[in-house]
Amino acid sequence: FFLLPSLKLENETKGKLQKQICQVVLDHFEKQYTRELGDKWTSVRDVLTYPLCWQYAILLNKFSPSAELESTLRAKGYHPVFQGTLPYLPRSLKCYVNRTPGRFPAQKHQTGKLKEYYLMNAASVLPVLALEVEDGEDVLDLCAAPGGKSVAILQCAYPGNFHCNEYDDLRSRWLKQTMESFIPDPLVNLITVSKLDGRQIGDLKPELYDKVLVDAPCSNDRSWLFSSDIQQATLRLIQRKELSSLQLQLLRSAIKALRPGGSLVYSTCTLSKAENSDVINLILNTCANVIPVDISEMAKAVSQEFTFLSDTQQHELLVLPEKGKAWGPMYVAKLKKI
């Protein structure tokens, strides 16, 4: 029996990928998400546990435009993921996707040379579209590393004051490098990159921003499933219960940092109800100065490309990965300060 080299390689890769799934995490998810998502969990699990069907979107960098790159993408069957009538879709934001899985080659970091594109999960652009940043607005990206959403914000508009914050030292260095790779010098100098504790920013900078993005630290379902260290995975699952309290503190801080009339988008890359709608509901029930903002029109406009959990409220959405649309998980909620 003779296997074609490519098929043989694919089978070996499959073996490697299958072996790496962390059973402890999968068992935990199995219990929780069967309860929370019902039948939908089976198809989501099939995508999350099988990286060969994962997809990557290509966010073009308007500061380093390449007509050649766009024609190459179209020739390879890529199409713009956001088309048609979205409530907010700046013409300068260009993000391409392909129906088939596979990964476009990443560009290496070269000092002094801007990258032409950023590889990301297409669902990661949804919080940025929900934020609706306009030119001249003061914007805070509270938990900004590795920087993809900050880069996406800058593809949409030129904020007056753009503050990107990342508390973790290693991730903060990663954020800085991302900014240097995508944003030209004059503009990079106008961006504040800080390493403050996000829970304290509201007290340090009260009512300073028109828009705040809280892309909160969360239990990252995709990467946790492939934890190679069982002890670390077990510890993560124990600490998982504490994440919602951190998320609440970050949100309260973000609300303080917002000007009245300003809006806030909260996002995570987990399916977990405790870190998503439970957190937002608690904020809405305990903060008299915030109200929910309907984002259902945005969800409707992109329903061709993304699969959403159906029974969410109008101010929130949850992207469920499925084969051929392997985007997410991504939870997005929008609030306004009054």
Domains of the chain, residue spans: 23-337
Q: Is 269 a catalytic residue?
A: yes
**pLDDT tens profile 25-43:** 999 999 999 999 999 999 9
pTM of the model: 0.94
Task: Tally the residues of the chain.
Answer: 338
Among 1-5, 39-43, 231-235, the range scoring the smallest mean pLDDT is 1-5
Give Cα separations from 193 to 2, 253, 333 (angstroms).
55, 18, 25
333 pairs with which residues across the strands? 266, 316
Say yes or no to pLDDT of 219 above 90.
yes
Q: What is the mean pLDDT of residues 171-177?
A: 95
Tell me: pLDDT of 307 over 60.
Answer: yes
Q: Is the pLDDT of residue 213 over 60?
A: yes
Is 23-337 CATH 3.10.180.10?
A: no
User: Do the annotations mark residue 12 as ligand-binding?
Assistant: no
Query: What's residue 5's pLDDT?
Result: 42
CA distance 140 to 209: 7
Give the lowest-confidence range in 109-113, 134-138, 177-181, 315-319.
109-113
The rounded distance, in Å, linking the Cα atoms of 209 and 254 is: 9
CA neighbours within 13 Å on the CB side: how many for 164? 26
* Residue 148 annotated in ligand binding: yes
Q: Exactly one of 95, 156, 164, 269 is catalytic; which is it?
A: 269
Q: Could you give the residue ranges of the DSSP H alpha helices within 109-229?
A: 126-131, 148-156, 169-182, 185-188, 201-204, 221-224
Is residue 241 part of an annotated ligand binding site? no
Please say whether the beta carbons of 55 and 98 come within 8 A: yes
Is 143 flagged in the annotation as binding? yes
> What pLDDT does 10 receive?
47
Antiparallel, parallel or unpaired: β 161-165 and 191-194: parallel
Task: Look at 13 and 257; give whichever has higher pLDDT.
Answer: 257
Number of alpha carbons in the 13 Å side-chain half-sphere of residue 86:
22
Give, to the nearest 10 degrees, the angle between helix 23-37 and helix 230-257: 50
- Read off the tokens for 121: 């999960």
Angle ∠(32,312,300) on CA atoms, nearest 5? 130
Residue 149, marked binder = yes
**Residue 146 counted as an annotated binding residue:** yes
- Give the side-chain half-sphere CA count within 13 A for 69: 18
Smallest Cα–Cα separation from 48: which of 31, 28, 29?
A: 29
Residue 206 Cα to chain centre, angstroms = 26
pLDDT(283) > 90: yes
pLDDT at 191 (0 to 100): 96
Q: What is the pLDDT of residue 19?
A: 54
> What pLDDT is attached to residue 2?
36
65 marked as binding residue: no
